[in-house]
Amino acid sequence: MELIDVFPETSWRKDNAMIATGTGGGAEWFLARLRPSEDTSCDFLVALRYEGDISQPRVRWHVMTASRSADLTHLWLNHPVLQQLRFDLTEFEKIGKTTAKNGSVELSIALVEEQIANEPMFILRLEATTTPKDVVENYSRELQEEFMSIL
């Protein structure tokens, strides 16, 4: 799994695979695109909200899939789930997801907070599991046959 794009791009520290927050405190949003090493049709997107309260910083996140060709800025401005998350923080409790599946790869994300040089660092731990292609094809075929028998 590789971090290949971040919105806003100015926050991306490519050499360290990090997203840097501002120093002013308050809340900041980021959208990160992760690409599986397996040849799949979809990327994973992680919407991150950093709440920079000095006494108790916090990160919330939501994982989803998107087309490899989808523009991050366009998604950020127009995707209904991202709009819900941005405008109503209670939506994280309702629709915020820590896992997503793009067909053959399931990505789970956990957050770990560490202190580095007396500064909090939030590290996203990624766990990707792959379903063998023949299992996916067999399962799809079984579902299709079951659906046809219902009709």
Of residues 64, 48, 42, the one with CA closest to residue 12: 48
Rg of the Cα atoms in the chain: 18
Residue 137's H or E segment, with its range, is: helix 133-150
Q: Transcribe 64-85 into DSSP letters.
A: EEEETT--HHHHHHH-HHHHHH
Beta strand pairing call for 42-51 and 18-19: unpaired
- Give the pLDDT confidence score for residue 117 in this predicted structure: 80
- Give the pLDDT confidence score for residue 151 in this predicted structure: 46
Q: Token pair 């405008």 is at which residue? A: 87
**How does pLDDT run along the chain (151 residues), one tens digit per residue?**
888 888 888 888 888 777 877 766 677 888 899 888 876 678 998 988 888 766 777 788 888 888 888 899 898 888 888 888 877 776 666 666 788 888 778 888 888 888 878 777 788 888 888 765 554 455 455 555 555 555 4
